[in-house]
Structure 1
Amino acid sequence: MPPSAAESIARSCTDRDGFEHVSVHPSALPHPVVGFYVQAGSLEEAESAALSLWGHASSAVVELQAWEPTRAEVPLFRPDLETGPLPGLGWTE
């Protein structure tokens, strides 16, 4: 995962519905982690939004085209409750 991945993803997704922020952990083991922060009404919508954002970013950014998600684990975040684990996607090249 290139060091500029977060910046490239954010630049390509800024105007996409629901997109709030992205965080990339390229050294995470066993695979890099890309965390999409999205506004969504349900867990299923959040997972779908994260995968859609990745699809958009990876088609727009050449350096990301070799990477594909292995799974989507996007917990629902409710501001009225305590914060939980960070959302993220697992990746392989």
Structure 2
Amino acid sequence: MTASPKVVSAKAAASFVGLSESTLAKLRLNGNGPVYCKLGRRVVYRLVDLDAWLASRTTRDTSDANSKFLNALSTAHSKLGVASEK
């Protein structure tokens, strides 16, 4: 019996959290993704960090999710210099 890995590649991490590799890379670049490690030029993720990141995004109802989405959208717009519609 082999032990499960404690770290996984970016490709495996993306699959684990249900995102594309490019989306995970964008989240990594803007600081909104899961904590990661650099091993040389290689990016890896610890499974405990992926679990913690997913847990931090858990919502109980749609109003909570909508609020988080609107806050994230507003932040993204302000960083890009896009005027928000009112």
Please indicate the TM-score interval, normalised by the length of the shorter structure.
Answer: 0.3 to 0.5
Tell me which protein shows more helix as a share of its residues.
Answer: 2
- Which gives a bigger RCO, structure 1 or 2 (Cα 8 Å, sep 6+)? 1
Instruction: Name the TM-score, length of structure 2 as normaliser.
Output: 0.33
Instruction: Name the TM-score, length of structure 1 as normaliser.
Output: 0.31
Higher Cα Rg: structure 1 or 2? 2
